[in-house]
Amino acid sequence: MKVLVANTAGFCKGVRDAIDITMDAIQKRGNNESICTYGPLIHNRQVLATLEEKGITAVNRIEDCADKKVVIRAHGIPPGDRQTLHQLGARLLDATCKRVAKVHAAIKQHARRGFHTIIAGDADHAEVIGLIGYAEGRGRVVNRPEQIDDLPADWDKVLLVAQTTQNEEVFHRIQERFLRRYPHGVVKNTICGSTHERQAEVRRLCREVEAMVVVGGYHSGNTVRLAEVAREAAIPTYHIETQADLKRQEMARYSLVGVSAGASTPSWIIHDVVQFLELIEPENGDIRFRARRILGTMAYANGWVPLAAFMLSFAAFALTGLPGTASESVMAALYLFAMHSLNKTLDRGAVELNEPGRAAFYERWKHVLAVLSFLAAAGALVLSLRLGLLVFFMMLLMVILGLFYTGPRVIPRSLRDLSFLKMRDIPTSKTLFVPMAWAVMLAVLPNLPDLPDVPGRILFGSWIVFLLVFLRTALLDLAAVRGDRLVGRETLAVTIGEARTVWVLWGAAGVLIVTLVAGPPLSLSTWFGILLLPAVAVFGWTLRESCSSKFKQEPLFETFVESILMGAGLLGCLWNVVAG
């Protein structure tokens, strides 16, 4: 099935800010400090469940917020509730969406001048409850144009505003009726620009697709509005919370489906829905779908990691000009497969959020993957012994460090609380430690006996491998940043943010280009380094494309990124054949 995904689908800025504020509070939480949100932070059950696992509960009774650090939900709260929270000794973190806060200010300003306020929205919605609190007792809520006629006609000062997620067409009809009844009334279209763009994009998509899938909470106002917009276009519309709400047989009737999502819908849920739809195989058994399924299985089984490592080792050999063997390449591939598999199968929290499909695969095959990981680590140790005791003990140290990093389930209980073993908690740890491990395995360990004789070439080769794998790892981390942040995974994108990470990647690509060009004249590498420049260019193109496409086709995106390293390794094989 072909799927068209709305560019505007997923978290809006207000929701991102609310989650970031909450996650910062978790990170800075003191001993015995209690943190809660006054009401659900956002309208998404999956995100709220994740926050609850971290000890952040949604409190609905204001009395239960006493003496706690309280995050004000993105929808905002009435001013009276804010005063009560202060009186109860609560310490407030305001995560109110800035767009909603502007509506608060507009209502408050006009209420002080004696205006009555009419709010176009849903009376029982959290945002509207907060808005009505600023009207100083002169506020009314309507959600249909004809309700305007039920309001007193003698009001001389009247303000009309909208719930920020209101259906734009409904608001315009309410506005027309409002101005007929109150010709001198003041109208402020306070519908969020993000809401307007989402609804407009859904209308455009509905003209191109056979059916529309809208992803988001059933109690999310903006998601409900998107589903209404799609139904108004007279095409089959499916409002779902997760992929589990879709029926494969029913969706198989369509060949082209559009997907949009509410402002509080996490990217990992949208990814899962898109992937589910894309993997629905047509009745004619199109070979493209079978190929995509095979590629996906390879990615889920971490099959690309050992292949990429095996191939990239030949690029390292070609770069340093030092002799290498297939046995050394297999040794590196086995070690990296073992560590990647253990890390992902045990790190269930981030995987479940970022890629539910992969999490389901791991749950089904976890015992097989665990056995394969153990055998791969043992195989790497056996192969390292053939290179001498020094290499063996170095490999043994790498295995131990990898196990400590992987997680508490693989280390003795008595050692789990030692601070120096908590490498996962170091900021940017994953993004940096992964390329460091690749650099050691591909460039240092195979050449360890020659290190005293040619330290420059070996260190130069490990630096190039580090930069290549750094680009690869950070690109994959960017695709998983929201899920990683929610579970506390310390990647570069989580630590410094997505925008800064993109600039760091561009800087790393620039450093890599300069280093590759400078290596041969300085006798630090062979001229093979020049042949690696196209790989850097492909990384740059991938970075640019991934920034403009919010929902990459997982796991095909991972397959493509790993193929860049495999391509670099293929060039190394050709170089070694020609040079040899």
The angle that helices 389-406 and 429-439 make with each other, rounded to 10 degrees, is 160
Residue ranges of domains in the chain? 100-191, 194-294, 296-579
**Rounded to whole angstroms, how far apart are CA atoms 513 and 58?**
50
In this model, does residue 104 exceed pLDDT 70? yes
Q: Which residue has the tokens 């770069």?
A: 319
Among 383, 360, 300, 304, residue whose Cα is nearest residue 337: 304
More confident residue, 481 or 552: 481
Q: What is the pLDDT of residue 421?
A: 45
In Å, what is the CA distance from 220 to each residue of 44, 314, 398?
7, 52, 48
- CATH class for the domain made up of 194-294: alpha beta
Place of tokens 């190039």: 464
Q: Which CATH class is domain 100-191?
A: alpha beta
What is the arithmetic mean of pLDDT over 317-324?
89
CB 227 within 8 A of CB 260: no
Q: Is 488 left (phi over 0), alpha (psi -120 to 50) or beta?
A: left
pTM: 0.65
For residues 381-409, average pLDDT: 84
pLDDT digits (tens, 9 = 90+) for 251-280: 888 888 999 998 888 777 887 788 788 777
Range with the lowest mean pLDDT among 84-88, 355-359, 558-562?
A: 355-359
With 90 as the cut, is the pLDDT of residue 317 above it?
Answer: yes
| 228-247 residue pLDDT tens | 999 999 999 999 998 889 98
Find the mean pLDDT for residues 381-386: 93
State the Cα angle at 279 between 364 and 346, rounded to 5°: 30
Percent of the chain with pLDDT over 70: 88
Average pLDDT, the chain: 85
What was the pLDDT predicted at 189? 93
Phi, psi of 545 (to 5 degrees): -70, -40
- Which pLDDT score is estimated for 495? 75
| HSE toward the beta carbon, residue 330, CA cutoff 13 A | 12
User: Which residues does the annotation mark as catalytic?
Assistant: 127
Q: Which residue has the higher pLDDT, 213 or 19?
A: 213
Same fold, 100-191 and 194-294: yes
Confidence (pLDDT) at 514: 96
Note the pLDDT tens digit of each residue in 56-67.
888 889 999 999
Q: How confident is the model over 417-456, as pLDDT tens digits?
A: 444 445 555 667 778 889 999 999 999 998 888 888 889 9
Provide the pLDDT for residue 420: 41
C-alpha count within 13 angstroms, C-beta hemisphere, residue 170 = 23
Mean pLDDT, range 389-401, rounded to an integer: 91
Query: How high is the pLDDT of residue 549?
Result: 59
- Residue 350 in this model has a pLDDT that exceeds 80: no
pLDDT score recorded for residue 282: 57
pLDDT value of residue 244? 84
% of residues, the chain, pLDDT over 90 = 49
Mean pLDDT of 483-504: 72
Q: Could you tell me the CA-to-CA distances from 532 to 53, 342, 516 in Å, in that order?
A: 45, 31, 8
Q: What is the average pLDDT across 516-545? A: 92
Band the pLDDT of 480: cuts 50, 70, 90: low
Range 47-74 average pLDDT = 88
